[in-house]
Amino acid sequence: MKPITFRPDSMVVEQVSWLAWRAMVAEVNLSPKPGLVDRFNSGAHRDMALADFYRSADAIRPWLPRFIHYGANSAGLSAQAVLPGLRPIGLGCEADMFRATAGVNTHKGSIFSLGLLCAAVGRLREREQPVTPEALCSTVSAFCQGLTARELQHNNLKQTAGQKLYQQLGLTGARGEAEAGYPQVLNLALPHYQALKVQGIVPELALLDTLLLLMAHNGDTNVASRGGVQGLHWLQRQAKTLLAQGGIRRPADLFHLYAFDQRCITRNLSPGGSADLLIVTHFLHEISTTPYLLNV
């Protein structure tokens, strides 16, 4: 096979990396967020604060171009052959994140999802294909085929938290979402957020409302690991109730989120998986509004 030499379009690499970093910062700045770290409190977390997320995002940012470059340089490989080469980059990125946060896991899920999506950008650009949300999610799905079976269904003596939740509750978490091509983002969160923006809803309120929608439907492994299936179902019901009452469309609606936040803190529940999907939603929305990525 003839090797591919990627001559990167520096504008694309810089812009996509910035959009991914911006998505992480936009998510943590959203306030109030039920059970999550935000500008007002640390939610249900005792080991992390807002500043940790800023340091984490800044530590991750220099690695994002590497994912894009690898996606381009591996464009001649089959999709399923790409993931093994992405792992070392992801592990290096994680190591820098942990160094920046003194060992706190702030963005491990986002490194996984944004790393895959950035690699998909590189692959699509190298193959001269439009970089749309649908194409990106389809490419990530192709990268991850078989991932859930390999890493969650396989039983061993040293089970991870993800493996335990899969066996106990059938939750596939970040792996399952990626392998399926982020259906909760493409079919639910992204169109919801875009529709709210068309209606003139302030972007921060639109994102908070979209977070509620994700919380209402996502089988969040972060929540289940803290509160079991009962805690997960409680959080989903609470989110659905708030959405049925009108959601978060006006500043006055934030009162309901403050109360929800306190209830999540009391129950020690944090919907980190939904927050990760919100970051993916924000990133894909921004990609969809960048004309020179859509056209090749």
3-state DSSP of 15-49: HHHHHHHHHHHHHHHCCCCCCCCCCCCCCCCCCCC
- Check residue 5 and give its pLDDT: 42
* pTM confidence score: 0.93
Nearest CA among 96, 143, 147, 99 for reference residue 117: 143
Q: How far apart are CA 239 and CA 228, in angstroms?
A: 17
- Check residue 151 and give its pLDDT: 75
Mean pLDDT by 10 residues, the chain (296 residues): 50 95 98 97 95 98 98 96 97 98 96 98 95 97 91 61 68 88 98 97 97 97 93 97 97 96 97 97 95 68
Segment 191-198 long-range contacts (CB within 8 Å, at least 24 positions apart): 193/281, 193/282, 193/285, 194/285, 194/288, 196/249
- Check residue 247 and give its pLDDT: 97
- Check residue 10 and give its pLDDT: 83
